[in-house]
Amino acid sequence: MVELRPGARFQSTVCATEVIVVKGTGPAELTCGGSPMVPAGSAERSGEPSADASEGTLLGKRYGDDDDTVEVLCTKAGPGSLALGGVALAVKVTKPLPASD
Amino acid sequence: MNLMMLLEMAATAMAGRAAVGTRDAGITCDGLMSRTAALAGRLRASQVEHLVLCDEPGAVLPVALFGAAWGGVPYVPINYRLADGDLRRLAGRAAPAVAVADTSGAQRLAGVDGLEIIERDELLDDPAGGADPAEVGDWAMDPDAAAVLLYTSGTSGPPKAAVLRHRHLVSYVFATVEFASAGTDEAHIMAVPPYHVASVAAQLSQVYSGRRIVPLRRFDADSWIDLVRAEGVSHAMLVPTMLARIVEALDRRGEALESVRFVSYGGGKSHRSVVERALELFPAAGFSHAYGLTETSSTVCVMGPDDHRRWAASDDPDERARLTSAGRPLPGVEISVRCDDGAEAETGAAGEIWVRGEQVSGEYAEGGSQLDGDGWFCTRDSGHTDDAGYLWVHGRNDDIIIRGGENMSPGEIEDALLTHPAVVDAAAFGLPSREWGEEVAVCVVTRSPVPTAEDLRRLVRTRLRSSRVPARVEFVDELPYNDTGKLLRRELRQRFVASEPAAPSG
């Protein structure tokens, strides 16, 4: 379990993936490549993504759950894929905001 | 978090794309990354505490902004238009510091204690200053480190340094901009001065989205139009005075700008007639009206192109009125309009605008955090919302006119005056009155056929109500604005209080 809050950064323990929380608060079972994610910079990488969680992450994409309660943004890409509570997180296709600056 | 996350992502995915400069000779994302690394190494070696920037918009801006972030010191852009004494004092407050300046800025800052001056062109050519750029280590990821210090425009007092931390600015970009979303042909013309929060926000947003920044050194409407044409500019951000001058110049030249697909305006009050004419002169552009403050890391509310089109075409007067609104809050931003007693104002009623969100800093170097216990920041702007959550900004609270206990927004009176075809510009403000506490005074800039004061009083009486009718009407050649386009009502008030006549004129 990790504690989500906007701005919190997490890393995969089995690939290069890193994410930052854009939306969502509270304890969550956030995994990448089938293994629990940990606060960024807190662990060395070891092992490989499991076969059923290796579709990969894409740099700069937003990932969210179906209920739209959690959104993380991929700041470093890797071969593992993301899941929350055992359910795969999908790339969120959001209508871009108008550029304001 | 660190601003460098944004540049690192851009350089990973869009290494060869031009980040800043001309189509042919711009600096790529990769080039920006290596220059930034070199400057960071130099900043670390010299053990300074700030990077001061005293220059006009140019390619050096993102090098300095990201270089400071990597080097672990705040980026402090200062206003090169200040008088020498003020400029040197402001730079001196940042010492020990590296100051990046153009040749004239370097001369003006020479000899300030604790300031190591680097000329802009020298920095772009050799950001490491002769040292080996491979030496620099990782940037710090402390989200609470100060990223940018900005001196607020000070329409109501001496300048204060707003502190924007890495987490405020990074949150703003992550919440509002889609990574690498810009087409390779897109370019953003950067004309706002570097010491304006919109310049900082624009640099971060463009780099992250992959849109080339085309800096314009010194703004005048004709240079702006020429650069837009020469560089095929697609995106622009303008403060209202710039937009008004560009509209005037395009009309004079008998031209329209087809390449521009997106215009955002904000940072002051816009006249509806200017916006309506701009819609015609930028036929391919979507318009966004943004509201934000230095202390909130730029934009907190925006009314986008879809809204502009929808409300302009609406027959419902309430919907059409939304054209003058600032739109609705960005994702993750909350707005609250409060009465004097702190209670939430009713929908439609005026009150003070409060803001909360990850991007909201609300902190000054001199006075610490101004957020309340729940994280809300009081903007000191007055405004109201409608039942769909659209926000209208009436103006600075200090500018509110209180006549006989009734609070009036100067913006409302100015809007009424500006509906007169011969009124080009208008300012309303309060003057001391024995009878009412304050009475309404207006200064108007007119063109022929010039209306009489009585015409204007009648107009205000018809459109608003009798309490808003100006006791004093003055015809002037121009109104005072500060250099980022904010109307200085306070200055008018002082001018008229100082020259108080025996009897009301007009």
Give the pLDDT of residue B378.
95
Record: contact A7-B175, CB cut-off 8 A? no
DSSP B15: T
| Angstroms from A50 CA to nearest CA on chain B | 26
Residue of A58, A62, A100 to mutate, interface with B, max B Cβ within 10 Å: A100
- Chain A residue numbers touching B264 (CB-CB < 8 A): 98-101
Q: How confident is the model at residue B157 (pLDDT cuts 50, 70, 90)?
A: low
- B324-350 pLDDT, tens per residue? 889 999 988 999 999 988 899 999 988
Which chain A residues are within 8 Å of B302, Cβ to Cβ? 97-98, 100
The DSSP call for residue B503 is S
Which tokens in the block code for residue B436?
Answer: 């009412």
Q: Which member of A20, A59, A101 has the closest CB to residue B198?
A: A101
> By CA distance, what is B299's nearest residue in A?
A100
A59 and B143 within 8 Å at the Cβ level: the answer is no
Sequence-distant (≥ 6) Cβ neighbours of residue B372 within 8 angstroms: B378
H or E stretch at B10: helix B4-13
Residues in chain A within 8 Å Cβ distance of B170: 7, 20
Q: How far is residue B397 CA from its own chain's centroid? A: 18
Least CA distance to A8: which residue of chain B?
B1
pTM of the model: 0.88
Other C-beta atoms closer than 10 Å to the C-beta of A94 total: 11
* Pairs of CB atoms within 8 A across A/B: 81
Q: Torsion angle of alpha carbons B62, B100, B138, B33, nearest 10°?
A: 40
pLDDT above 90 (res A50): yes
Average pLDDT value for chain A = 93
Of B12, B143, B304, the CB nearest to A59: B12
Distances (CA, A) of B452 to B350, B456, B480, B506: 31, 7, 22, 9
**pLDDT tens string B103-124:** 999 999 999 999 999 999 999 9
Q: Write the pLDDT tens digit of every residue in B379-421.
A: 999 899 999 999 998 878 778 888 877 778 888 898 889 889 8
Q: What percent of chain B has pLDDT over 70?
A: 97
Q: Which of A23, A41, A61 sits opposite B141 (nearest CB)?
A: A41
- Left (φ > 0), alpha (ψ -120 to 50) or beta: where does B476 sit? beta
Question: What mean pLDDT is predicted for residues B238-242?
Answer: 88
Q: What are the chain B neighbours of A60 within 8 Å (beta carbons)? A: 9, 13, 178-180
- Within 8 A by CB and 6+ apart from B229, the residues are B257, B259
Sort out which chain A residues have CB atoms less than 8 A from B5's CB and list them.
20, 75
B133 pLDDT band (50/70/90 cuts)? low
Q: Is B497 on the interface with A (CB under 8 A)?
A: no
The token duo for B108 is 């003006």
**Residues of chain A with C-beta less than 8 angstroms from the C-beta of B360:** none
At B495, give phi and psi (nearest 5°). Answer: -60, -40
Mean pLDDT for B56-64 is 97
pLDDT of residue A40: 94
Beta bridge partners of B407: B402
pLDDT the model gives residue B500: 63
Contact criterion met (CB < 8 Å) for B177 and A99: yes
Omega of the bond leading into B127 within 30 degrees of 0 (cis): no
CA distances from B84 to B92, B111, B239 (A): 12, 12, 26
Beta bridge partners of B441: B429, B472
Residue B497 has pLDDT above 60, yes or no: yes
Interface residue B202 vs chain A (CB under 8 A) = yes
Question: Mean pLDDT for chain B?
Answer: 91
Q: Does A16 touch chain B (CB under 8 A)?
A: no
What confidence tier does B156 reach under pLDDT thresholds 50, 70, 90? low
CB B93 within 8 A of CB B109: no
With an 8 Å Cβ cutoff, is A46 touching chain B? no
The count of C-alpha atoms lying within 13 angstroms of the C-alpha of B354, restricted to the half-sphere facing its C-beta, is: 19
Q: Which residues of B touch A8 (CB under 8 A)?
A: none
Summarize the confidence of residues B52-76 as an average pLDDT: 97
- Of B149-158, B200-209, B300-309, B472-481, the one with minimum mean pLDDT is B149-158
Is B503 a residue whose pLDDT tops 60?
no
What single string gives the DSSP state of each residue in A6-74?
TT-EEE-SSSS-EEEEEE--EEE-EEETTEE-EETTSS---S---GGG-S---TT-EEE-TTS--EEEE
B296: contact with A, CB 8 A cutoff? no
Whether B236 contacts B264, CB under 8 Å: yes
**Averaged pLDDT for residues B203-222:** 96
Is residue B453 scored above 80 in pLDDT?
A: yes
CB–CB contact B171 A6 (8 Å): yes
pLDDT at B297: 96
Nearest CA in chain A to B168: A7
Q: Do A98 and B358 touch (CB under 8 A)?
A: no
* pLDDT score of B154 more than 60: no
Which of B167, B171, B288 is the closest to A100 by Cβ? B288
Chain A residues touching B262 at Cβ < 8 A: 98-99
Which among A40, A60, A101 has CB closest to B180? A60
Say if A60 is an interface residue toward chain B (CB within 8 Å): yes
Chain B residues within 8 A of A100 when measuring between CB atoms: 176, 201, 237, 264, 266, 288, 290, 292, 298-299, 302, 330
Confidence of residue B504 (pLDDT cuts 50, 70, 90): very low
- Would you call A7 and B1 a contact, using CB atoms and an 8 Å cutoff? yes
- pLDDT above 90 as % of chain B: 69
User: What pLDDT digit, counting tens, does each position of B136-148 carry?
Assistant: 889 999 999 999 9
Closest chain B residue to A9 measured between Cα atoms?
B1
Q: How confident is the model at residue B164 (pLDDT cuts 50, 70, 90)?
A: very high
Q: Lowest mean pLDDT: which of A69-83, B204-218, B316-330? A: B316-330
Cα distance between residue B347 and residue A43, in whole Å: 51
Lowest-confidence segment of A48-62, B12-26, B66-80, B425-439 by average pLDDT? B425-439
CA distance A22 to chain B (A): 7
